[in-house]
Structure 1
Amino acid sequence: MKWTVLNKAATRWAGCISRRAGLICMASLIITMLAFQHMKTLNVSTQINALMPEGARSVRTLNKALEKTGSFAAIQIVANANSPDAVLAQLGAIKKQIDTYDWVGSSQYYEDIEVLENHKLLYLSLEELLELEAEINQAYPTLIAKNIGAFFGASVRYTERGAGLTGESTSQIDPDMLEAFKSITDTSKSNSKRYFTSDDGLTGVLIVWPKAGQDSLLDAKRMVDDSYRLIDRLNTTPEDKVALGVGGRIASQVAQFESITRDLKYGLISAIGLIILMLLFAYRSFMAIPIILIPLGCGIIITLGLTAIIIGNLNLITVFLTLILFGLGIDFAIHNFSRYQEERRKGHSQERAVQIIIHDTGAASLLAATTTALAFFALIFTEFRAFSEFGIIAGIGILIICLSMYTLQPALIVLADRIGWTINPRSKKQKLFRYRWGFNPLRYRLPILTAVIITAVSAAYFAPKIKFETDTKKLEAQMPARHVTATEQIQKVIRTGNSRAIIVAENYDDLVKIDEYFKHKIKEDDASPTIKSVSSLIDFIPNKASQLERLAIIKRLAKSAYNLRVFDPETYESSLKFLTIEALNIADLPPGLRRTYLGQSTGSQQNDFEDRDTDYLVYVDNAVNLDDARNAKAFSDDVAQFTIDGQNHYAASESFILVEMLGLMKADAIKAILLVSVTTSFVVFIFLRNFWATLIVLAPTLIGLAATVAIMGAFGPALSIMNMVILPSLIGISVDNGIHIFHRFESEGPDADILGIMSTTGRASVLTTLTTLIGFGGMITASMAGLRSLALLAIIGFLACLITTGFVLPILLEFYQKHFQRKRLQPLGSAL
């Protein structure tokens, strides 16, 4: 065999590594340290909108709403005690201290509603006020006549000529009407403050709104940690027994993130520990551990450093890339190390063995890395942001790790040899016992091929039966006990869900139309109601015309009350605050209500909100549980987009993003698998230039994927936003084994020993798959259900591909060897 350009380059590079191994290791260390500094700046977003394309309608609508509201999220500190006074005292003490923190915008545990209480007659409908006025007009002259008659001891007829009202002292007065009026004007039942407490007053909540710009996960963690430190150091007297907790949306996000990182940390530690034990058992050498794991770790760190520069953060899917890159990258390391051991046992020198792994194993690795990287880069063409970002990071990571395996790993091997590490020789008998298969698949062609056909038919039958996980609660992590307790206490006080929809009305006319639209929809939708209520400023400030009509009636009621003042001066004095009101304006409302319905920046400070040139916020509360995607879809259909007078309006909610994301996910899951499959097939074909060779390399992976799909459809797990990334990854990772085995088969020529290859390169493939399985399997005990489903699907998929590679690939290689192999190559060892 003639020397090729690649062979010459491999020889030069092997010589360079032998001479400059220390320098290469030092340069790799410096680059890794620089990358580590960037890696530390990586943020992780736990919000689902980070998984969606920014151009998605639901995301754009939510971002517009967030610009107005600042945020839907707040810190909620809950206090529970055996007396209402203790609860309020503790919340007041917490508010006083937490308001001094630099991240706090405002906080409140009560709303000043005195102005609303004083205007409660204004909140009666026009019909109710007219009815009340009619009853009072009928009753109050009779009441005057009765009082005069009682004074003189005679029957009296009282007539108010100007108003045309007449009453007899002998007439009866409806007592219910009088009681109704007194209850309206009874100041003893009037509250100037509405505390955020439960019905029994034993649980209260302090709502803490962060300043604008506190949006990152690091900010959220700092806010939650500060809140916990504050409540932990507050001293409560034993008799009060005040229990404090922190909850709310921000605290939930932090708890979810901490659960994810804890699961990843313990999963990685346990996985690395098991992999080390497996490598020690397989190679009987402690030097195998650093030689395999150090280049892999450096490659992953450099990848994450580049991710921080290029993308800036990780999302709920790409946060698991460390696991996936670990599984992808360790393949190269194990194939290199196994081949190095094999060549050294054959008697080759150190430099010669390094040259062979660079030229021979490196060629297969380059093909595998290029194929896998391009397959992942193909995911850029999917709309699902989780897929596209995953494709970018995974593609770059594969290439970087591959480069690390043919620079840093050979350098480490050279240094290890220099300090005295040697390959333990083994007898031929030991080699045959250890590497030859006890089960020969070539003797069982028919049963194996029959199993392949059954697998294909099962995949076709069960694939449509694959379920999508629609309940997001089933994907979440198990929350800490104190967070669960705090959340349960808060729900006694604040019953409005975080997932309610918000609509930004651009002007007052739109506000009125939107309010009327949903109130009418609530009345009409009896079949499958998803809307509980709608609220806006209209609920607190009636329009100008309506206010003027109602105020005119209230003034007439005030005149009637004035005429009765001598008979009950105490009631008259107490009712004056309700009967002498003026029109309500924006400035009259409590700050909390203004923030809720006008946003954090209220813009113009005009009193008349009908003439404002800024937006208004409308809230639509859900009547169904939006954790279930089916309910979320129904709510989205009713609220997310609607038309009034030919104008389209859009509502914002994270649940609407989830609905759109699930639709996009279902479409892009198939698209992603097809893109990865087509790209992988094309790249393999370009390298091999042979249709049958390409088919043989891909077949085990595709059959394994079919088996995985069949198992998912028949038994589960359900496909979800957490585990769906495994399916395209399965193709990228598993096809590497086929490439390495086929490349070794081709390099040994037409008389290649198939079983010998399967017991050497195939053995390395078994190790790579098992290490990948262990890497993902470490997550099977995670507290996060979504992470467990990811691990389970990975275990099923990689085991299926391992089995098909071990049993089907030898049969296909034998078939190819007998019927299609045309290119005769000498064994690489004899040519070099």
Structure 2
Amino acid sequence: MAACRWPITTVVLNLLLAGLAGWYSVEGLRINTSTTDMISPEAPFRRDAEAYRRAFPFADDQIVVVVDSPSSDQSDAAATRLAELMREHPESLADVEVPSADPYFRRYGLLFLDPLILQDLATRLAGAQAALGTLNEAPNLRGLASMFGLVLEHAGEDAPATLSDLLGRLADATDSVTSGRPEAVSWTGLIKLNDDERFGDRRFVTAQAVLADTAFGRGRPAVDAVRRAIDALKGEPEGSGVDARVTGAIVLRQTELDTVADTAGIATILSFILVTAVLTVGMRSWRMIAAMMITLMIGLTLSAGLAAAVVGRLNLISVTCAVIFFGLGDDFGSHLGLRYQEERRRGHPPPAAVLEAARSVGGPLSLSTLCAIIGFLSFVPTEYMGLAEFGVISALGMVVALFISLTLLPALFILMPPGPGVVRVEREDRAYATWMTRHNSALLGVTAFTALASLAALPLVRLDVNPLNLQDRRTEAVRTYRELAEVPRTSPYSVNILQSDLASAQAMADQLRDNEQVSGARTFASFIPKEQDAKLPIIADMALLLGPSLSAPAEVAALSPADRAEAVATLRNDLTRFAQGDTGNPEARAAAQRFAEALERVSSGGEERLTEIDRALTGGIPPLLGRLREGLDVERPVTAQDVPDSIRRRWIAPDGQARVEALPTHDISDGRDMARFANAVLAVAPHATGAPVTVTQAGRIVLRAFAEATALTLVLMALVLLAVQRSLSGMVLILVPLVIAALWTMAVAGLLDIPFNFANVIVLPLLFALGVSSSIHMVARGQELERSGTHGTNYGIELLVTSTPLAVLVSTLTTSTAFATLAISSHRGLSSMGMLLAIAILFTIISALLVLPSLMIGWHRWVHRHTPAADPTSPTRR
């Protein structure tokens, strides 16, 4: 072997190649965590999504900030101020908007109210005309005291319930100032000036992320810019008591990328440590373990370079390639190293032992690599590009692992020759071998029973392809996204349909509104008020009646501390007199008493406290009066031409295409609910797009790809094994334990309710790709014994006292521990992948060391029982 003849040259060449590959991988390898991009762009739903993206690019890379505060007025002010702060970062954020603060809605907001609600508002405002006039002249504590002096004087037993509500809210706001957590009164919310019931005190700020040209953090600058703006808001009066949370597509992707990258790094280090520990116990030779670890590190670097050159990116699944390489690459070294130790114990010198070990395991290793490559590449013909990319990268890794295991590792053994290892106690080995030989029939019976029981548990296996369910639920972006999904009006799980024009969009919306899965359908026409002929006269009457009271007054002078103290004293006296009187209903008098007591507590807090109470009680009055003036200044019907471009561009594309948005009736985060909603819309609009459609259609592709890849893996492996083994029995002996391990794995997944998802769906194809190595080595060693003339009872014992079972145990344990490190991830997709892979590999250990030997011993006995005179070297004996 050339590597053994020139070991130094072999090592130097590998180091040079590794250095080049490491540099190229750092420069050229990217990570993409989008689960949608893991599906072929030729899939029909991907083409529909791309058509929608071209028509309405605003939907891409969007950041959404959810702003909550104690009152709608404060939320309005906070959202507006936050947008201003975000616009100070044009290098990272673009198109910053506060949809609810658009001047269009301020001016025409009254026209969007239902006619009955608008008429009720007109009646209430007419009764409050004098109070509004008083507040308009002095929108401060003095005006508030004057207003209540007027209102309470005429409040009789029939005082409206709104008086009790107003007094109660003012008392609550006053108590909040006393407690040090001021919460301003929302006057627009009290009067219900607009349809704020849709979002309550919640507002939204949206922005487009300007993506950075980096490999691992394209969205991070934009997300960081938003967080800096939020921090700045918290230090200003508008941000007091405000909760601002960040979510949206780009934030979810960046959060997931950070989680995956952190997990991959930690898992790689941990798998390296655990693999080393298992090898130490199994081999007990530090030189051999050092050689294997050096080989693995160089092989990993070479694999990364090939991945960068051939694929160019990592996805949610292939980002685990380092862990997978450690888990698989050590298999080759384990078999070569333990066979080397076996040859050394037989007395061979290191060079001869290396050559004999390489000759003995080279064939099985090559066959194992070929079968593993088949398993990895089985997803390439499918539409699941994510697994196809993973398969290509892993297949390249297998080629690299085989290459360095038969070149670099033997060269290292020559340069720093390990010893023969610890001589094992043969009695222990023979005890296991003897037990297996005696009880193989019982083991086969137990195997058959558990396989049948696993078939019965298969209906419990389920598929969950909602990408949000893969992420860490504790992150702010995921928690906020899920909270929005609970309310249909704010649900991010809407579905969009492209239509040729607005008329077609309206017809589609009308059709969708009759669907029981759809709570509402919106188009551009939804932003043009309806029933304007009935609403305009009501607004005209309101303007005629309230106009004089709302005329813009001269600039109001700011109150001095003495003025505020006097106003509070006057207000408290009027409230106390009303509360202790015999007029007014009991609820109003009780609320007045509570308000008076709260004012008494706050009045002793000094000038600063009086300023805070003025801001909390009357800060929302000027916005209310301003919105009333704007809303009443409407004299003609609103048309499509009045709708601003900021709204139009979100509903009408430049080429005239119009979109329809359909909303679900409830939270559809569950995959089954999401599929029902998506299917209901697709039945009416086959080219609809959006998260529910994407998730549902992608799930079908993943399921189909899973079935196709598993079947292809089995068929191709069977053909390859049949061609190489030239024996049907040898092929069956290799594959049957893998099928049983796969059944056990699926049954456990169903019983433990671990759903298959975008990430862990690789488990079964990977089980065949990984487990076949152990079966091949065991069957190959058994055939070697047959060719040497081992017969009868000695066959099973001689098979199980060789180094092969230990090599299988060590290699599968290292693989299992390497994959198990993924289970520590807070990313649910990776953690479930790690758990299922660890379970699957554990079952392959049981299959390889219990089921397969039992089958081999039973088959050997059957053959010798029926063909006692057969030539032991005949292919039929294999």
Q: TM-score, structure 1 length as denominator?
A: 0.76
**Number of the residue aligned with 2:419:** 423
Contact 1:99 1:106 in 2 (8 A): no
Contact 1:465 1:713 in 2 (8 A): yes
| 1:500 lines up with 2:494 in the alignment | yes
Q: 1:472 and 1:489 mapped to 2: Cα distance?
A: 16
**Number of the residue aligned with 2:39:** 52
- Cα distance, 1:335–1:590 mapped onto 2, change above 3 Å: same
**Number of the residue aligned with 1:515:** 509
For 2:823, give the aligned amino acid: I
For 1:615, give the aligned amino acid: Q
**Number of the residue aligned with 1:29:** 15
Deviates more, 1:406-415 or 1:38-47: 38-47
- Cα distance, 1:308–1:738 mapped onto 2, change above 3 Å: same
Contact 2:212 2:221 in 1 (8 A): no
Where 1:351 maps in the other structure, the secondary structure is helix
Q: Which has the higher contact order (CA 8 A, sep 6+)?
A: 2
**Number of the residue aligned with 1:793:** 836
Contact 1:62 1:653 in 2 (8 A): yes
Q: 2:254 and 2:189 mapped to 1: Cα distance?
A: 44
1:767: Cα distance to partner? 0.5
**Number of the residue aligned with 1:18:** 4
**Number of the residue aligned with 2:406:** 406
**Number of the residue aligned with 2:180:** none
| 1:100 lines up with 2:89 in the alignment | yes
Contact 2:722 2:728 in 1 (8 A): yes
**Number of the residue aligned with 1:581:** 636
Where 1:100 maps in the other structure, the secondary structure is coil
Contact 1:110 1:194 in 2 (8 A): no
Deviates more, 1:272-281 or 1:783-792: 783-792
Q: 1:188 and 1:377 mapped to 2: Cα distance?
A: 61
Q: 1:493 and 1:708 mapped to 2: Cα distance?
A: 38
1:215-258 per-position Cα deviation (integer Å, ceiling 9, x unaligned): 98632123223333554577726994666543333222222222
Where 2:742 maps in the other structure, the secondary structure is helix
1:769-802 per-position Cα deviation (integer Å, ceiling 9, x unaligned): 1111111222333323333332332233222221
The 5 A counterparts of 1:221-236 are 221-232=220-231, 236=235
Q: 2:485 and 2:535 mapped to 1: Cα distance?
A: 39
Equivalent pairs counted in the alignment come to 718
For 1:743, give the aligned amino acid: A
Where 2:218 maps in the other structure, the secondary structure is helix
Q: 1:246 and 1:334 mapped to 2: Cα distance?
A: 49
| 1:779 lines up with 2:822 in the alignment | yes
- Cα distance, 1:312–1:123 mapped onto 2, change above 3 Å: same
**Number of the residue aligned with 1:596:** 650
Q: 1:383 and 1:406 mapped to 2: Cα distance?
A: 35
1:689: Cα distance to partner? 0.8
Match for residue 527 of structure 2 among 498, 521, 540: 540
Q: 2:749 and 2:427 mapped to 1: Cα distance?
A: 38
**Number of the residue aligned with 1:88:** 77
Structure 1 or 2: larger helix share? 2
For 1:76, give the aligned amino acid: V
The 5 A counterparts of 1:72-151 are 72-77=60-65, 88=77, 92=81, 95-96=84-85, 98-109=87-98, 111-119=100-108
Q: 1:801 and 1:307 mapped to 2: Cα distance?
A: 28
Match for residue 678 of structure 2 among 632, 636, 645: 636
Q: 1:223 and 1:709 mapped to 2: Cα distance?
A: 42
Q: 1:120 and 1:717 mapped to 2: Cα distance?
A: 49
1:332: Cα distance to partner? 0.6
Contact 1:196 1:204 in 2 (8 A): no
| 1:762 lines up with 2:805 in the alignment | yes
Q: 1:224 and 1:576 mapped to 2: Cα distance?
A: 36
Contact 2:387 2:762 in 1 (8 A): yes
1:569-607 per-position Cα deviation (integer Å, ceiling 9, x unaligned): 779997997454376344x43443133223xxx53xxxx
Match for residue 713 of structure 2 among 676, 679, 704: 676
For 2:673, give the aligned amino acid: N
Contact 1:717 1:789 in 2 (8 A): yes
1:633: Cα distance to partner? 1.2
**Number of the residue aligned with 2:457:** 462
Contact 2:29 2:314 in 1 (8 A): yes
Q: 1:501 and 1:508 mapped to 2: Cα distance?
A: 17
Contact 2:437 2:796 in 1 (8 A): no
1:58-101 per-position Cα deviation (integer Å, ceiling 9, x unaligned): 22211211222222542234566678559836862663454333
- Cα distance, 1:750–1:319 mapped onto 2, change above 3 Å: same
Where 1:780 maps in the other structure, the secondary structure is helix
1:334: Cα distance to partner? 0.7
| 1:622 lines up with 2:664 in the alignment | yes
The 5 A counterparts of 1:337-348 are 337-348=337-348
1:568: Cα distance to partner? 8.5
Q: 2:710 and 2:406 mapped to 1: Cα distance?
A: 30
| 1:38 lines up with 2:28 in the alignment | no
- Cα distance, 1:47–1:499 mapped onto 2, change above 3 Å: farther
Contact 2:106 2:630 in 1 (8 A): no
Where 1:27 maps in the other structure, the secondary structure is helix
Where 2:758 maps in the other structure, the secondary structure is coil
Contact 1:515 1:535 in 2 (8 A): yes
Q: 2:19 and 2:256 mapped to 1: Cα distance?
A: 29
**Number of the residue aligned with 2:441:** 446
Q: 2:744 and 2:78 mapped to 1: Cα distance?
A: 63
- Cα distance, 1:286–1:343 mapped onto 2, change above 3 Å: same
Contact 2:745 2:839 in 1 (8 A): yes
Contact 1:58 1:657 in 2 (8 A): yes
Contact 1:755 1:810 in 2 (8 A): no
The 5 A counterparts of 1:284-295 are 284-295=284-295
Q: 1:313 and 1:663 mapped to 2: Cα distance?
A: 24
**Number of the residue aligned with 1:267:** 267
Contact 2:777 2:804 in 1 (8 A): yes
1:197: Cα distance to partner? 12
- Cα distance, 1:380–1:100 mapped onto 2, change above 3 Å: closer
Deviates more, 1:81-90 or 1:99-108: 81-90
Where 1:532 maps in the other structure, the secondary structure is strand
1:510: Cα distance to partner? 1.4
For 2:855, give the aligned amino acid: L
- Cα distance, 1:746–1:120 mapped onto 2, change above 3 Å: closer
Where 1:206 maps in the other structure, the secondary structure is strand
1:477-515 per-position Cα deviation (integer Å, ceiling 9, x unaligned): 2434x5577669989999512221111222233122122
Contact 2:96 2:206 in 1 (8 A): yes
User: Cα RMSD (Å) of the superposition?
Assistant: 4.2
| 1:67 lines up with 2:110 in the alignment | no
Deviates more, 1:700-709 or 1:366-375: 700-709
Where 1:724 maps in the other structure, the secondary structure is helix
Q: 2:698 and 2:719 mapped to 1: Cα distance?
A: 30
Gaps of 5+ in 2: 123-187, 553-628
1:750: Cα distance to partner? 4.1
Q: 1:406 and 1:462 mapped to 2: Cα distance?
A: 43
Q: 2:545 and 2:394 mapped to 1: Cα distance?
A: 86
Q: 1:651 and 1:86 mapped to 2: Cα distance?
A: 34
The 5 A counterparts of 1:477-492 are 477-480=472-475, 483=477
Q: TM-score, structure 2 length as denominator?
A: 0.72
- Cα distance, 1:286–1:94 mapped onto 2, change above 3 Å: farther
Contact 1:536 1:618 in 2 (8 A): yes
1:120: Cα distance to partner? 6.0
Match for residue 775 of structure 2 among 729, 738, 743: 738
For 1:366, give the aligned amino acid: S
Contact 1:103 1:214 in 2 (8 A): no
- Cα distance, 1:806–1:317 mapped onto 2, change above 3 Å: same
| 1:666 lines up with 2:711 in the alignment | no
